[in-house]
Amino acid sequence: MLGTDPWLPSVPPRAPKVLPHVDVDTKYPTEDTYLWSPAKERNYIVKSGYWTALNESLNDETPQPPLAKHSGFSSSTIWKLDVTPKLKHFIWRYASYAIGIVENLRRRNINVDPYCSRCCTELETNDHTIFSCPQVTMVWRAAGFPTNHLSNTGISVHDKLTLLFQMHTDKNINRFSRYLPFWLMWRIWKRKNDLVFNRVNRSTSEIVEQAIKDTKEWLDNRSIDKEQRETNQQGVSRITKWCKPNRGWLKCNYDALHREGNQDSGLGWIIRDSHGTVLHCGMGKYQGRLTAEEAECSALIWALQATSALGYARMEFEGDNLNINRYIKEKGSNPRLRHYLATIQSWAQSFTAIKFSFRPREQNKLFGFYNITCFTDAAWNASSGSCGMGSIFKTQYQRVIHQGSSSRLHTPSALAVEALAIKSALTAALRMEFTSITVCSIQRPQRMSFRGYFMVLPVCVFHSYLLKSALFHV
């Protein structure tokens, strides 16, 4: 039991109540401690202290990343580009004004010639160096890119980069043209450095040829890497699914969906034996957690409480948060989670044997141990044309995992009603993403197969506020 809401499921399934904020166990009171709020884990480190002291001495604001002041432009966009890390780092430094362009050097009080070393007529700014210099404009034009936008000095550097990022993700544009702009930027920058440091002035055609060669080489290697990844995925596909516990043990998978603010969040757990049979499961809503790790701890505490109340003694608890699993096993220190971890350790003592394990969510996939049978029936009123339909889903152990009913007006015949009942059952099966199902109606059973994942918390999928990330794939 968590708060005032009994653990689920119930037959028929009902909507869970919003659980109040559940304080952690206070049977073992501890002294208050200090938390360092600027650090992520609330432990003081010199780096965060330095940034805090430096920033407070300037404007008493939280330190911001170099690109934070540019609205609509995020550094995460750069790091997600499908280009070599060298290019990502170069583009990030260029967008952050942290590269050796004269404009940036003079801003740091380095006294250098302010004029462009190539055209010698205009100031060397960030935009001029890569986009708007007359000699650079010829490079972009020779590579086949329109220069009316890139060479326009009235458009900011970040807007021009945003245009290139949009081109990179546009599947309607030729794949080669989506990658070429970033290699052109790199070769333009290399040309400027060759002129300044080596006194070598490379021609426009030479720069374009080198950028094209670099792009082809990158794309060819990406194709090889993709083939190797597909081969590796085929080789490990047999182990990327739910693992059964050892004989004599039970496994409880738990998960939580965390939403910040006042939005409802969800958590759930499911207990299975060494044969994969579902014994118990539950879900619920909650509020009041600040981080995803606190939500994971809350889900684990609820799973521990429910499992202990059910009388199980040898349990393995499996989650998808590596940090929580490491803190529990190594008894690590995390001031923010200190009370949660203490509660977990306290409840762990109520079991004869207990294990905590970690498994990534993407490795918790299809494992068809169920033989699901759906029984459908319907009633038809010939005079009014109205009808009622119902369905019930059972496992091979006759455990009811879902049932539902509906009504309809103006149905032409009893045969149509039976067909609609089967259609309603198949729709529910698809919504629950069953891999295979036997539908039993008045007609003889027919085996139906579906593509998709197998979700073992089917009672959850009928509510819009459910644990979309806490449905366990097996």
309 assigned to some structural domain: yes
Token representation of residue 73 = 């432009």
pLDDT of residue 101: 93
Same domain flag for 246 and 286: yes
Q: What is the mean pLDDT of residues 290-310?
A: 88
Structural domain count, the chain = 3
Please state, in angstroms and rounded to a whole number, the distance separating the CA atoms of residues 188 and 103. 17
Higher pLDDT, 1 or 121: 121
Among the three residues 236, 268, 294, which one is the final residue of a domain in this structure?
A: 236
325 assigned to some structural domain: yes
Q: Per-residue pLDDT tens for 121-151?
A: 999 999 999 999 999 999 999 999 988 889 8
Please state, in angstroms and rounded to a whole number, the distance separating the CA atoms of residues 324 and 384. 60
Same domain flag for 343 and 246: yes
Q: Per-residue pLDDT tens for 167-182?
A: 998 888 888 999 999 9
172 assigned to some structural domain: yes
- Between the two ends of the chain, the Cα-to-Cα distance in Å is 26
Q: What is the mean pLDDT of residues 287-306?
A: 85
- Is residue 353 pLDDT above 70, yes or no? yes
Q: What is the mean pLDDT of residues 459-464?
A: 29
- Is residue 347 pLDDT above 60, yes or no? yes
- Is residue 363 pLDDT above 80, yes or no? no
Q: How confident is the model at residue 278 (pLDDT cuts 50, 70, 90)?
A: confident
In 3D space, the residue among 330, 319, 323, 419 whose CA is nearest the CA of residue 378 turns out to be 419
Among the three residues 236, 256, 276, which one is the final residue of a domain in this structure?
A: 236
Task: Show the domain range for 203.
Answer: 75-236
* Three-state secondary structure readout of 52-72: HHHHHHHCCCCCCCCCCCCCC
pLDDT of residue 146: 85
- Is residue 16 pLDDT above 50, yes or no? yes
Same domain flag for 344 and 401: no
Q: How confident is the model at residue 224 (pLDDT cuts 50, 70, 90)?
A: low
Per the prediction, the chain carries an average pLDDT of: 77
Same domain flag for 104 and 228: yes
Q: What is the mean pLDDT of residues 210-231?
A: 78
pLDDT of residue 258: 79
Amino acid letter for position 391: S
Same domain flag for 79 and 213: yes
pLDDT of residue 212: 93
What is the DSSP track for 106-147? HHTT-----B-TTTSSSB--HHIIIIISHHHHHHHHHTT--H
Q: How many CB atoms lie within 10 A of CB 201?
A: 12
- Is residue 233 pLDDT above 80, yes or no? no
CB 113 within 8 A of CB 134: no
Residue 162 sits at φ, ψ, to 5 deg, of -60, -40
Among the three residues 218, 236, 254, which one is the final residue of a domain in this structure?
A: 236
- H/E stretch holding 449 reads strand 446-449
Question: What dihedral do alpha carbons 142, 147, 151, 157 form, nearest 10°?
Answer: -100
Residues comprising the chain, all counted: 474
Same domain flag for 217 and 304: no
222 assigned to some structural domain: yes
- Return the top range by mean pLDDT from 27-41, 235-249, 388-402: 388-402
219 assigned to some structural domain: yes
70 assigned to some structural domain: no
Higher pLDDT, 287 or 304: 304
50 assigned to some structural domain: no
13 assigned to some structural domain: no
In 3D space, the residue among 16, 137, 5 whose CA is nearest the CA of residue 459 turns out to be 16
What's the pTM?
0.43
Same domain flag for 318 and 439: no
Q: How many CB atoms lie within 10 A of CB 232?
A: 10
Same domain flag for 247 and 223: no
In 3D space, the residue among 289, 293, 300, 294 whose CA is nearest the CA of residue 253 turns out to be 300
DSSP 8-class letter at 194: I
- Is residue 91 pLDDT above 90, yes or no? yes
Residues linked to residue 392 through DSSP beta bridges, in sequence order: 375, 403
Same domain flag for 136 and 165: yes
Same domain flag for 221 and 303: no
Same domain flag for 265 and 399: no
Q: Per-residue pLDDT tens for 261-276?
A: 677 778 888 888 888 8
* Residue 420 belongs to domain with CATH number: 3.30.420.10
Q: What is the mean pLDDT of residues 377-404?
A: 82
Same domain flag for 249 and 324: yes
Cis peptide upstream of residue 13 (ω within 30 degrees of 0): no
Q: Among all chains, which residue has been given the structure tokens 């044997």?
A: 353
